Amino acid sequence: MVLEAAVRGLGAPRGPAFLTPPINVTQAGGGSTVPKTVVPSQPPRGGRILAAAALVAALTGAAAGTAGAVGARLLEGLEPAPAAALPRVAPAPSASLTGLSATAARVLPSVVSVETRSAGGSGFVVDGSGHILTNAHVVRGSSTVTVVLHDGSRLNARVAGADDGEDLAVLEVDHPGELTPATLGRSAELSVGDQVLAIGSPLGLSGTVTSGIVSALDREVRLGGSRRTAVQTDASINPGNSGGPLVNARGEVVGVNTAIAASRGGGNIGIGFAIPIDRAAPIAERIIRN
């Protein structure tokens, strides 16, 4: 069965920034205990006056002491207690990225956004000489384009050559020292169910990373006007991802994201296609040599 893959253009939305207000938790409380005053038993008859005077003094002193203690404790109860500390996980060191987080961090510096007057897409650096691989349909009709690096800097690039039949093109910039080459893997080593990441600029959102698995191998689809086999993945691919890398869990490029099977609305439905890197790399080398 042949799937028709729809390829669409690039938007440039802007998203809001979100600020989370701090939450302070305070706790207050207090109590007091009023001591009881013990009245001494009645003294002998001859010393009633002295005993009465002593009793008055004792009662007065006890009352004053009790009132002072109660007042002090009430004042203590009005003072706010320190903010309650909620249990938090200790911050992890910055060098502790593992799994897909480490994979994304390793590949992102090699991925660029590709901008033309009429369209746009993604690409990735393939060597240290300033060459970037992308899709031919991304730069069709343009001789020069703009590439936006991971740090936001912009460079002018020339279209060094293209293979429309395979839907691949190579760009070249004048300042290769600012580029970070990606590591190319082998698509022949892929298996259905392998975990992969798709990286690019869907709808103009540069540096977007999505994850999924290899859904099928050697899926026949229409690419560049002719039928070609492709890697099928359920990693979210949308307009603007075209030309970006599909990478394995080790961060090696195993495909060039190229097309999606789209519904009438044109959005991602979990079926994307990438040109296997084993086929794309020799074409890129031929374009660079010529």
Q: Which of 110, 113, 167, 187 is catalytic?
A: 167
Concatenating the DSSP letter of every residue in 81-149 gives PPPP----PPPPPGGG--HHHHHHHHHGGGEEEEE-SS-EEEEEE-STTSEEEE-HHHHTT-SEEEEE-
CA 265 to chain centre: 26
* Residue listed under structure tokens 């093109």: 169
- How many residues in total does the chain contain? 290
The span from the CA of 288 to the CA of 158, in Å, is 12
Element counts in the chain: helices (H) and strands (E): 4, 13
The span from the CA of 282 to the CA of 188, in Å, is 14
Q: Which of 113, 137, 142, 236 is catalytic?
A: 137
* Active site (annotated) includes residue 206: no
Q: Which of 113, 187, 201, 242 is catalytic?
A: 242
| Cα end-to-end span (Å), the chain | 36
* Active site (annotated) includes residue 242: yes
* Active site (annotated) includes residue 150: no
**Residues labelled catalytic:** 137, 167, 242
